[in-house]
Chain A
């Protein structure tokens, strides 16, 4: 089954404790992206990747890191999480970076930073 898999689905942690949210897709997609979703603000792009070893900042990259060492994986790293990073996070992938390629989303990761 074609899918985007995120782990963990839920995480409660404390300020400053490094964490990684993993994202994996099995569709051989080139484009992958991370979003955060907050009430009233919709989906805001954190980072995206056009292909292996090619990443770039979205609209809200501060406090986050990503890597794309393999085509299928695109982990999101919070080196020193803070309470303002409490949010619902989605990973997504698409075949390419052009506008007519639909994004396929994972089920989301709900992070709470205390």
Chain B
């Protein structure tokens, strides 16, 4: 089967750095995406890794290692507004138009 595993909850302090992991069991996929969802809101796209390595977009970075079946989202200089749920997602080779999301990680920021 195909599944994406994420920690259900992470807590961090304002101004700190936090890493949200995504491990997967799938035969292969086109790339790893990350989405952010605030309470009561819709998911919004954050980043995409087609290749192994680090992609940086401002305070957010995303990393992919296909050999380790692992990716992560790194949030730096945390702000209270970063409190949200974060989802990783892939399009598997077996069905390139289908999208599979992880169960999501709820990030809580403490002052």
Contact = CB atoms under 8 A, between A and B. Distances in A.
Interface of A: 31, 33, 35, 40-45, 48, 50, 56, 58-59, 90, 92, 97-100, 102-108
Closest CB pairs A-B (n = 9): A99-B30, A102-B45, A99-B31, A105-B42, A42-B103, A43-B101, A97-B97, A99-B91, A42-B101
Interface residues of B, number: 26
A103 B34 CA distance: 10
Contacts of A44: 101
A21 to B, nearest CB: 14
Given A42-B101, A48-B98, A100 B43 contact: no
B94 to A, nearest CB: 12
Contacts of B44: 105
Given A40-B8, A58-B99, A105-B42, 17 more contacts: A35-B101, A43-B89, A43-B104, A45-B100, A48-B97, A50-B97, A58-B98, A90-B43, A92-B43, A97-B96, A98-B91, A99-B33, A99-B90, A100-B30, A102-B48, A103-B45, A105-B44
Nearest to B42: A105
A45 B101 CA distance: 8
Contacts of B104: 42-43
A33 B87 CA distance: 17
Contacts of B98: 45, 48, 56, 58-59
Contacts of A103: 33, 35, 43, 45, 99
18 contacts: A35-B101, A43-B87, A43-B89, A48-B99, A56-B97, A90-B43, A92-B43, A97-B96, A97-B97, A98-B30, A98-B96, A99-B30, A99-B90, A100-B48, A103-B43, A105-B42, A106-B42, A107-B42
B86 to A, nearest CB: 11
Interface in B69-111: 87, 89-91, 96-104
